[in-house]
A and B are shown apart, each in its own frame.
Chain A
Amino acid sequence: ETGVTQSPTHLIKTRGQQVTLRCSSQSGHNTVSWYQQALGQGPQFIFQYYREEENGRGNFPPRFSGLQFPNYSSELNVNALELDDSALYLCASSYNRAYEQYFGPGTRLTVT
């Protein structure tokens, strides 16, 4: 059974640029959630996708957008990057919306 994987591991972007982060869910899981974790803070919920539809969104602006594919993998897109977007971005998958979430290792984004 393959766990949740994320790519890339690290990346550095410049303020104003756009970035796409990718997540492959665990086998058999159809729900993907994305979180942002700033240094020293707990993860903050960005949004969740269930069967390719957005199923809830946290307090993040529209420049944070996402997508889920038929194989249940997912992308997080961030436009017009700001310095405060520097964080660890975590993806978590679950089997349906009512089960425990399994997290990937995260993507460390640095915005300069």
Chain B
Amino acid sequence: DAKTTQPTSMDCAEGRAANLPCNHSTISGNEYVYWYRQIHSQGPQYIIHGLKNNETNEMASLIITEDRKSSTLILPHATLRDTAVYYCIVRVVGNQFYFGTGTSLTVIP
């Protein structure tokens, strides 16, 4: 059911930008891309979402390719508290989220 592919793990130096890629090559025209993160078995935390255009909020930026087959989540200045599992999700009709296995991001001091 998962319609996304992400790297299993990534490292990022503290203070640098963390760029997390996601492949969603089978995405349909009306399906949104959502990003969540989960810290240490807490409930997942909403980060950002988008349909076609690039989006930015206080937490991150989301870059979606023109063909919508992939996207990148950017954390502009990673901190140790950004260490978490990051999930890229394609939202199917009816707002039913299908999570993959996510990317485990480790921010290194």
Interface bin, chain B: 20 to 34
Across the interface, do B94 and A41 meet the contact criterion of CB distance under 8 Å?
Answer: no
Interface bin, chain A: 20 to 34
Give the contact stretch, choosing among B11-19, B38-46, B66-74. Answer: B38-46
Across the interface, do A44 and B99 meet the contact criterion of CB distance under 8 Å?
Answer: yes
Can you list, as one digit per residue, whether each of B29-43 has a CB less than 8 Å from chain A (1) or not (0)?
000001010000111
- A97 and B99 contact, Cβ closer than 8 Å, known pairs A42-B2, A58-B1: no
The closest CB in chain A to the CB of B36 belongs to: A103
Across the interface, do B96 and A105 meet the contact criterion of CB distance under 8 Å?
Answer: no
Of B85, B98, B100, B102, the contact of A45 (CB 8 Å cutoff): B98
Across the interface, do A105 and B49 meet the contact criterion of CB distance under 8 Å?
Answer: no
User: Which 7 residue pairs across A and B have the least CB separation, nearest first?
Assistant: A103-B43, A42-B99, A97-B95, A100-B46, A43-B99, A56-B96, A103-B44
Interface residues of B (CB under 8 A from A): 1-2, 34, 36, 41-46, 49, 85, 87, 94-102
Interface residues of A (CB under 8 A from B): 4, 31, 33, 35, 41-45, 48, 55-56, 58-59, 88, 90, 92, 94, 96-106
